[in-house]
């Protein structure tokens, strides 16, 4: 295949395979715990994080992972500690992070190209470090799921009962927030700030629509994710269209297909 002749495309496809599994598996818990707006916030907060990384002269992925975790946990501590709902706190932080990021970009004279790369992603920017970090994160997340799946599902579906049984719903929230923040930070280069959240939510939403049980849910979501990342990346190569939007468009088609399947079987 011609697409595999180019090293940057091989990197993009490899990254897509990793994120195609990682994002939807996280998305399963994002959509069942009502955290979709949170992952969107983390993606947009990366505008500020990326600017800070460039100004500080630190490799963006290395900076963005701890930055996103700190920002995510800070926001969650605010909504857990003050009489403010989660979406209100995220709305406030969301606006603040974007405003600060754009101001910083303007003041420091970072180029519009830089901003556009952040907003929409650019697979040419994927480095071996990004791939290794993503693979490492996927491995750690799979181990975490293996050890904690029953309690995470329980705390998602029966939070009040879980608390009564001594299962810490908030602790699992914090751990998932950390994982989601790290994954979003790594994906910004591929799909961009605007669309990163879509790749967390859409495959999981498509799988949730047609799954009759959790086993199916956990299997179909990454399947949709891999299909979307690979087909979107290949389509962007042959059709000469931006990769991030092509991946998200492929995922959206999968979501529409899931709606159709559900509609037919209902």
Partner 1 sequence: MTVILSAEDIEAGYNSRPVIKGLTFSVRDGDVLAVIGPNGSGKTTLLKAVLGMIPLRRGRLSFSWKKGVDRERLIAYIPQRMEVDRTFPLSLKEMLGLSLPGAPVEKYIDMLELRGLLSERVGDLSGGQMQRALLAYAIIKEPQLLIMDEPTSWIDAKGADCVLCIMEEFRKKGIAMIIVSHDFSVIKAAATSVLGLGPEGYFFEPVDSPLIDEKLMSLFGTLHHNACITCKPEKGLG
**Residue 164 sits in the site that holds partner 1 (CB under 8 A):** yes
- State in angstroms the smallest separation of the CB of 34 from partner 1: 9
Query: Does 139 engage in binding with partner 1 (CB under 8 A)?
Result: no
Residue 119 vs residues 34, 113, 236, 254, 256: alpha-carbon distances, Å = 24, 10, 17, 23, 25
146 scored as a contact of partner 1 (CB under 8 A): no
Q: Which stretch binds partner 1 (CB under 8 A): 52-60, 96-104, 213-221, 251-259?
A: 213-221
Question: Can you tell me which of 8, 82, 157, 219 binds partner 1, judged by CB under 8 A?
Answer: 157
Gap between the Cα atoms of 11 and 6, Å rounded: 9
**Rule CB under 8 A: is residue 215 a binding residue for partner 1?**
yes
Cβ pair 72, 181 in contact under 8 A = yes
Residue 170 half-sphere exposure, CB side, CA atoms within 13 Å? 9
Q: Does 213 bind partner 1 (CB under 8 A)?
A: yes
Q: Which of 239, 236, 240, 237 is nearest to 248 (CA)?
A: 236
* Part of the chain binding partner 1 (CB under 8 A), chosen from 68-76, 113-121, 133-141, 155-163: 155-163
What is the number of helices (H) and of strands (E) in the chain? 10, 0
Torsion sign, CA atoms 218, 89, 199, 207: positive
Question: Does residue 102 touch partner 1 according to CB under 8 A?
Answer: no
By CB under 8 A, tell whether 265 contacts partner 1.
Answer: no
Say how far apart CA 117 and CA 243 lie, in whole Å.
Answer: 11
If one asks whether residue 219 binds partner 1 (CB under 8 A), the answer comes out as no
Rule CB under 8 A: say whether 212 interacts with partner 1.
yes
Contacts of 105 (CB under 8 A, 6+ apart): 47, 51, 114, 115
150 interacts with partner 1 by CB under 8 A: yes
Q: Which of 39, 156, 228, 243 binds partner 1 (CB under 8 A)?
A: 156
206 binding partner 1? (CB under 8 A): no
Applying CB under 8 A, the residues found at the interface with partner 1 are 32, 150, 153-154, 156-158, 160-161, 163-167, 207-208, 211-217
């Amino acid at each position: 295949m011609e697409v595999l002749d180019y090293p940057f495309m091989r990197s993009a496809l490899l990254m897509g395979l990793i994120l195609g599994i990682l994002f939807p598996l996280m998305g399963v818990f994002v959509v069942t715990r009502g955290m979709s707006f949170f992952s969107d916030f983390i993606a947009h907060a990366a505008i500020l994080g990326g600017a800070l990384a460039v100004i500080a002269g630190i490799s963006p992925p290395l900076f963005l992972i701890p930055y996103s975790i700190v920002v995510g946990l800070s926001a969650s501590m605010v909504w857990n500690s003050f009489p403010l709902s989660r979406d209100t706190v995220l709305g406030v932080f969301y606006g603040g992070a974007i405003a600060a990021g754009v101001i910083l970009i303007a003041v420091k004279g970072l180029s519009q190209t830089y901003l556009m790369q952040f907003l929409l992603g650019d697979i040419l920017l994927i480095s071996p470090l990004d791939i290794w970090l993503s693979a490492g994160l996927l491995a750690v997340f799979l181990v975490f799921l293996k050890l904690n799946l029953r309690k995470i599902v329980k705390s998602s579906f029966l939070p009040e009962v879980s608390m009564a049984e001594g299962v810490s719903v908030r602790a699992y929230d914090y751990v998932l927030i950390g994982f989601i923040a790290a994954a979003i930070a790594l994906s910004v280069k591929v799909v961009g700030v605007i669309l990163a959240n879509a790749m967390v939510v859409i495959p999981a939403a498509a799988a949730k629509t047609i799954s009759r049980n959790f086993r199916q849910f956990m299997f179909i979501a990454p399947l949709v994710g891999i299909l979307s990342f690979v087909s979107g990346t290949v389509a962007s190569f042959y059709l000469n269209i931006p990769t991030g939007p092509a991946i998200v468009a492929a995922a959206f088609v999968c979501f529409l297909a899931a709606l159709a399947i559900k509609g037919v079987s209902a």
